[in-house]
Amino acid sequence: MGARVDLVAGARPNFMKVAAVHRALSAASGALEIRIVHTGQHYDAEMNDVFFEQLGIPPPGVHLEVGSGPQGAQTAWILERYEAAILGARPRATVVFGDVNSTLASALAAVKLGVDVVHVEAGLRSFDRTMPEEINRLVTDALSSLLLVSEPSGVANLAREGIRGSSVRLVGNVMIDTLRREAEAAARLEVGRGMGLSEYGLVTLHRPANVDEPAVLERLIRLLVELSTVLPLVFPMHPRTRESVRRAGLEGLLFSGASTFKVVEPLPYRENLSLMSSARLVLTDSGGMQEETTVLGVPCITLRDTTERPITVERGTSRLVGNDVEKIRAAFRDALSGSWPRGETIPLWDGAAAPRVASAFLEWLEA
Ligand code: UD1
């Protein structure tokens, strides 16, 4: 067949998905010429290189080196540079992942040059258009020729938008393939114990709604420091959040003497998985961690008002609490007292989603 295929990796949440799909596509067909395209949206070693190393993703065939910038500028830089990379290689298809700016920008560059777009994690909707990710999802799906969906709500959302038929395939969650593959290696690390903690909660925050407004950020950090006196909390801090803390002058609060409140650098994949697996609870605004905690059976207090991953609330372990202090406190108490759903087994989140992606992709290519 010899078809050229680009897989676009841009930001941290893409990497676990790219790893699984790259492996499955390579195993399914030796005839594909697969090129990893890194946009450079995330560039710090701990947001980036360490994931490529741990997850066995080959080095990018092309690196667009766009870095950070305002929404429009970052999107425009990817559009311009990926267009040039397409013209140089003429791929048959561009596979994009998730909902980050790199997903939208590379899909747009591809489709304008007549290159088919394949979207892994299609159809998810938060119905909140103030989130950049929601715009990225809507536009990417409208441009895609093959839409590979992780949970049933995605199929229903796409049908409502008039996207249905054989181009839409429910394949399951490729991120869980990576979780299952790495689980044993992660368990051996015992990161929590290495920090001297027998019991703890894990915190991550980076969404604009939680970290961009100084008053909200301060309220949340004060609450977390307070909760950490009940259950020690480990907080690997995203660079965006670190920057907001600095701008708001809140560094003092982070290190205000509560030794039970441990702020650390962003963690590599396995270290984070190790901490998450053994945590009593997770407090997060990450979409990926809502899914991972559901599979691990760990209570997930989700600091968002909406989720594009409703199955994690309806059948998993996630509860939406926004950034409302009283709701967070109540959820924290419930999780510690054990009055929390254990989560069901989610169909197709079984560690074999990426091979289903590969089969669907090859069928579509040959059709
Ligand atoms: C992006 C995604 C978000 C995803 C998140 C996971 C979009 C719109 N958002 O948000 O969906 O959940 O990644 O991490 O694509 N920065 C660094 N080093 C880096 C990367 C970022 O210092 O390697 C800092 C920069 O100050 C930058 C800020 O973080 O301005 C935001 O980075 P950006 O990639 O624009 O968005 P994220 O908030 O990371």
pLDDT of residue 276 exceeding 60: yes
8 A C-beta contact, residue 19 and residue 97: no
4-173+349-366 with 182-337: one CATH topology? yes
Domain spanning 182-337, CATH architecture: 3-Layer(aba) Sandwich (3.40)
324: tokens are 């409302």
Q: Which atom of ligand 1 is nearest to the CA of 46?
A: 23
- pLDDT given for residue 101 in this prediction: 98
Which CA distances in Å does 65 have to 14, 23, 61, 68, 213?
16, 24, 12, 9, 29
Report pLDDT for 2. 81
pLDDT band at 256 (very low <50, low <70, confident <90, very high): confident
Residue 241 pLDDT exceeds 90:
yes
Mean pLDDT, to the nearest integer, of 324-338?
Answer: 98
Query: Phi-psi bin for 248: left (phi > 0), alpha (psi -120 to 50), beta?
Result: alpha
Please check whether residue 206 is in contact with residue 287, taking contact to mean a CB–CB distance below 8 angstroms: no
pLDDT, mean over the chain: 97
For the stretch 279-328, pLDDT in tens is 999 999 999 999 999 999 999 999 999 999 999 999 999 999 999 999 99
Where does ligand 1 bind, in terms of residues with CB under 6 Å?
11-13, 41-44, 47-48, 68, 99-101, 132-133, 206, 238-240, 243
In angstroms, how far apart are the furthest CA atoms of the chain? 63
Average pLDDT estimate for 59-77: 97
Boundaries of every domain in the chain: 4-173+349-366, 182-337
* 38, 42, 119, 206: the active-site residue: 206
- What's the whole-number mean pLDDT along residues 233-250? 97
Nearest CA to ligand 1 atom 33: 68
Q: How far does the centroid of ligand 1 lie from the alpha carbon of residue 224, in Å?
A: 22
Alpha-carbon distance 100 to 133, whole Å? 6
Residue 271 has pLDDT above 60, yes or no: yes
pLDDT of 41 > 90? The answer is yes
pLDDT at 255: 80
Ligand 1, closest atom to CA 288? Answer: 12
Q: Mean pLDDT, to the nearest integer, of 65-86?
A: 97
Sign of CA dihedral 205, 208, 209, 214: positive
Alpha carbon distance 35, 60 (integer Å): 7
Q: Name the superfamily (CATH) of residues 4-173+349-366.
A: Glycogen Phosphorylase B; (3.40.50.2000)
What distance in Å separates the CA atoms of residue 286 and residue 266, rounded to the nearest whole number? 13
Task: Report how far residue 103's alpha carbon sits from residue 133's, in angstroms, rounded to the nearest whole number.
Answer: 10
CA angle 258, 252, 70 (to 5 degrees): 120
**pLDDT above 90 covers what percent of the chain?**
97
Encode pLDDT of 97-154 as tens digits. Answer: 999 999 999 999 999 999 999 999 999 999 999 999 999 999 999 999 999 999 999 9
pLDDT at 1 over 60: no
Contact 246/279 with Cβ under 8 angstroms? Answer: no
CA 105 / ligand 1 centre spacing (Å): 15
